[in-house]
Amino acid sequence: MEKVPAAAVAAGGLVGGYATARFTKKRPLGGAVLAVAGAAAAQQWRRQAGPKTAAALSAAYVAGFAASHPLAKKVGAWPAVLGVAGSVALASWVAVDRRR
């Protein structure tokens, strides 16, 4: 059993990836943080809930990342990132983490 819930790993990847890119001014580094956390979350999702759930949550993770860009133009960067991170975390909790 993992000590850190997959919901926290996924949300942390979205927020951490953005924060890394913003504060280091190195977008590829932020992308690496995003990718590593996404892969770790996907692995947990697969182990705990199976490949179909992992695929759906991975798609939500990528969609959240993509949606944060146009959303940021409307509400600002941080609110957009925090909103999509919260949405992905909630989906992960509902589909996987609450079962623990």
* Tokens coding 22: 């913003």
Q: Indicate the pTM of the whole model.
A: 0.93
Q: What is the pLDDT of residues 35-87, one digit of tens each?
A: 999 999 999 999 999 999 999 999 999 999 999 999 999 999 999 999 999 99
Distance CA 73, CA 88 (A): 20
Give counts: helices (H), strands (E), the chain: 4, 0
Q: Is the confidence at residue 1, as pLDDT, over 70?
A: no
